[in-house]
Amino acid sequence: MSIAVLSQVYAEARRLAVAGSVVAKGDFRLRKLLPPLEQAGAQAPVFAKVAEAARAVVDGPEANSAEALLELAALASAVLYTQGETGIAGPLEPVESSSLGGSTLQIPARELKPLLEALTGKGGGRFAPIKEAVDKGHFRDLRLIRPALAAIDDGYADVADLIADKVLPQYGTAVLEELRAKYDPKGTKGHPRRLKLMHQIDAAGARELVKEALDKGSKEVKVAAISCLGAEPEDRDYLIDQAASKTQDVRGAAYQALAKLDHPAAVAVLAKAVQGKDLHLAAHAIVDSKNPKLAAVLAAEIRTSVDAFLKLKDKKKASEAADRITDLLNALPDAKSAELDALLLDLFARRAELAKVKGSTYSGTDVVESVVSQMADGSEAVRRALVAAHAELEPDQLQQAFEAGRPYLTPAELYDSFAPYIAATAGRGKKRGKDPEWERREAVLDAIDSDFYPYQWLNPDDDDDDDSELDEPERERPEPQPYDPRWLDLAVAAKHTGAIQALARPGHAGALAFAKSEFDAALKKAKHPSDVQNEMTTLLRVAHPDAADAFFAGLARRPKKVHFYQFYWYANMIPRLPLSAVPRLEEALAGFPKDVAEHVGEDWQKAIDKLKAKGAAP
């Protein structure tokens, strides 16, 4: 009872401290606690001291109320602290726990808070910070496990898929119990993801749940369950049956699972689908398969379809056939083989014949385009064949041939083959867009330009600024050869900014002069800092000695109404500036308007710190 009274006294002291000590004198609530305090004081002198301190607050002079109230609060707090207990009665028992199978970390609060808001919030713009946290390994912070488990139900599918595919699997069996507890076989949204995750983490343990979902699950959960099948011999017959389902999603899931099986019956089902109306579903399943038997099925169907296509005269039928053949070509698996090479080389040799067939929507030119695309990403043999025919290619195909040759041609061979196209001029009274020579010139320059991504160059630690969808799995591609130094001379002569940025190297006189002249011209017209950001990037890329002065000149192009986004890109540039720019950068940051500082101030400070660290490095 005495402790309860003391707790009340402490609570009233806190209340009065908030209200102000001037209202403490004569407080009736605190006065009501004096009798029980004095009664307890007869048994324990410490309570008598508390009663004395409380009376000094209630009845003492108002001038001393602040000191008296502080004395009472401190005394009550000290006594309560000594009366606390630790532990509970009963025998000690181990706490249930699960290992995450790796190291953990604790990220700073300034990074944790926005990440938690992204995981638990709604609306757009949340994917990017979550993706960045995944890339940095921040989800090894134990405080993020439960928010991540809840995010599997996120209404934004890209966020939920990212969490299910990249985050939760790293926790392994530690999250199985939570996944099972929240799993509903008749549910939608996050429940199919839960089933697939449980199967991924513990296939044997989730087997019964998968079987149950096949019989009693919602359509979405059943589709997820089908994707979990294939490991057991008994699954094959069930998958073959489901490939004949009236529901397209079910058939698609069955084809995906069958494509993983190296069995004649599975291949036969997929072959039948390729030849029928389910081509798109079956092709989508086959494209990820490495099974040479399925590749042979596609190759045979393509040859048969092309032979029939070349005989068509009706434009509607030709269009349907061309569409079908392009689907077949785009489904060719990423498995290099002599048979597939022979198919592509044969179709490429017949490209003129194919291009003559005209359809209402799709034509033979679309088939040729698909063939060239497959060759550009194919084996060395088909790539070299594409490069060898560069002089015969259409302008839109020349860029693919250039990119196909980079890994296999020496720098000099690539230059000798494609550099002559850049010498073309528009001239001869034709519009540039209608001049094939000009289009070929631009195709080669654009191929070089496509090698350089300004954001990635400025932010080498961030390989993806796209928050619209999950990254597609990357094919294993050969490394390209370096460019011949002579390309930069051509790019400067052509005044092609993108190619100059891609090819830039410090000290090239022509690139330095071009970059400065382009910046000066853009600065004269600029009304916002963002109006010169591309030219500023070029200056940095060529390591121009005036880059810092240009940076601040561009920054000074502020309109009367300043928007923070105009300063965001400039933060990306800061680590590429010389160390001598730091004082001016800090001065600029200090002078930002309040709303600009709130949005980009932290980004600027991080970038300045990175520049300082670079300067301090040995």
Rg (Cα) of the chain, in Å, rounded? 35
More confident residue, 560 or 104: 104
- Residue labelled with tokens 């000066």: 520
pLDDT of 88 above 80: no
Which is higher by pLDDT, 504 or 478? 504
The residue with greater pLDDT, 463 or 308, is 308
pLDDT bin (cut points 50, 70, 90) of residue 467 is very low
Query: What would the mean pLDDT of 173-181 be, rounded to a whole number?
Result: 91
Domain boundary among 27, 62, 82: 82
* 283 located within any domain: no
* Sequence-ordered alpha helix ranges (H) in 464-546: 486-494, 497-503, 509-525, 533-541
Of the candidates 407, 365, 361, which has an alpha carbon nearest to the alpha carbon of residue 386? Answer: 407
- pLDDT, residue 463, reads 47
Domain's final residue, options 48, 64, 82: 82
Confidence check: pLDDT of 462 > 60 = no
CA atoms within 13 A on the CB side of 65: 17
Q: Which residue has the tokens 């207990």?
A: 85
Q: Which two tokens stand for residue 340?
A: 């597939």
The closest alpha carbon to 321, from 336, 337, 341, 301, belongs to 301
What single-letter amino acid sits at 164? A
Q: What is the DSSP string of 102-150?
A: S--B---HHHHHHHHHHHH--SSS-HHHHHHHHHHTGGGBGGGHHHHHH
Are the CB atoms for 56 and 67 separated by under 8 Å? no
- Position 461 confidence tier, pLDDT thresholds 50, 70, 90: low
Q: Is residue 464 part of a domain?
A: no
Does residue 221 lie within any of the structural domains?
Answer: no
Q: Which of 82, 117, 134 is the last residue of a domain?
A: 82
The pLDDT value recorded for residue 91 is 83
267-286 mean pLDDT: 86
- Tokens found for residue 486: 């002579």
- Whether 195 and 183 have beta carbons less than 8 Å apart is answered as yes
Over residues 325-342, mean pLDDT: 85
Residue 110 lies in a domain: no
Instruction: Assign 291 a pLDDT band (cuts: 50, 70, 90).
Output: confident
**For residue 601, what are its two tokens?**
């101030």
Residues near 559 by beta carbon (within 8 Å), at least 6 away in sequence: 527, 528
Q: Is the pLDDT of residue 472 over 70?
A: no
Q: Write down the pLDDT at residue 159.
A: 93
Give mean pLDDT, residues 489-496.
Answer: 94
- pTM of model > 0.75: no
Q: Which amino acid is residue 454, in one-letter code?
A: P
Could you read off the pLDDT of 118-163 as tens digits, one per residue?
A: 999 887 788 988 998 998 889 999 899 999 999 999 989 999 999 9
pLDDT of 81 reads: 80
pLDDT digits 0-9 by tens, 579-590? 999 999 999 888
Q: What is the pLDDT of residues 38-69, one digit of tens each?
A: 888 888 888 888 889 888 888 888 888 888 88
* Per-residue pLDDT reduced to its tens digit, 183-201: 999 998 899 999 999 999 9
Residue 105 lies in a domain: no
Average of per-residue pLDDT values in the chain: 87
Q: At what angle do helices 264-275 and 248-258 cross, to 10 degrees?
A: 140
pLDDT class of 406 with cuts at 50, 70, 90: very high
Long-range contacts of 193-200 (CB under 8 A, 24+ apart): 193/152, 193/160, 193/161, 193/164, 193/224, 194/152, 195/221, 195/224, 195/225, 195/228, 196/164, 196/224, 196/227, 196/228, 197/152, 197/164, 197/168, 197/169, 199/228, 200/169
Number of domains, the chain: 2
User: Does 497 reside within a domain?
Assistant: no
Per-residue model confidence (pLDDT) at position 598:
80
pLDDT the model gives residue 557: 87
**Mean pLDDT, rounded, for 168-188:** 91
Q: What's the Cα-to-Cα distance from 132 to each of 185, 395, 403, 461, 575, rounded to whole Å? A: 32, 38, 30, 10, 19
- Residues 30, 54: contact at Cβ < 8 Å? yes
Task: Name 35's Cβ contacts closer than 8 Å, sequence gap at least 6.
Answer: none
Determine, yes or no, domain membership for 576. Answer: yes
How far is the C-alpha of 596 from the C-alpha of 195, rounded, in Å?
45
What mean pLDDT is predicted for residues 442-460?
87
Buried b (16+ CB within 10 A) or exposed e, 134-149: beeebbbbeebbebbb
310 within a domain of the structure (yes/no)? no
pLDDT bin (cut points 50, 70, 90) of residue 476 is: low
Q: Please give the pLDDT value at position 464.
A: 44
pLDDT on residue 101? 64
- Arithmetic mean of pLDDT, 402-425: 91
Lowest-pLDDT range of 320-334, 404-418, 426-440, 494-508? 426-440
CA dihedral for 182, 185, 190, 193, sign (positive or negative) = positive
pLDDT greater at residue 434 or residue 75: 75
pLDDT band at 562 (very low <50, low <70, confident <90, very high): low
For residues 515-543, give the mean pLDDT.
93
At residue 425 the predicted structure's pLDDT band, cuts being 50, 70 and 90, is: low
Residue 335 has pLDDT above 70, yes or no: no
pLDDT at 99 over 80: no
Res 469: pLDDT: 41
Residues 219-271 pLDDT 10s:
999 999 998 998 788 889 999 999 998 889 999 899 989 988 888 899 899 88
Longest Cα separation, the chain: 113
Distance between CA 553 and CA 569 in Å, rounded?
A: 15
Range of 536's domain? 504-616
Q: Which range (218-232, 305-319, 424-438) has the least confidence?
A: 424-438
Instruction: Give the integer Cα–Cα distance in Å for 19 and 428.
Output: 88
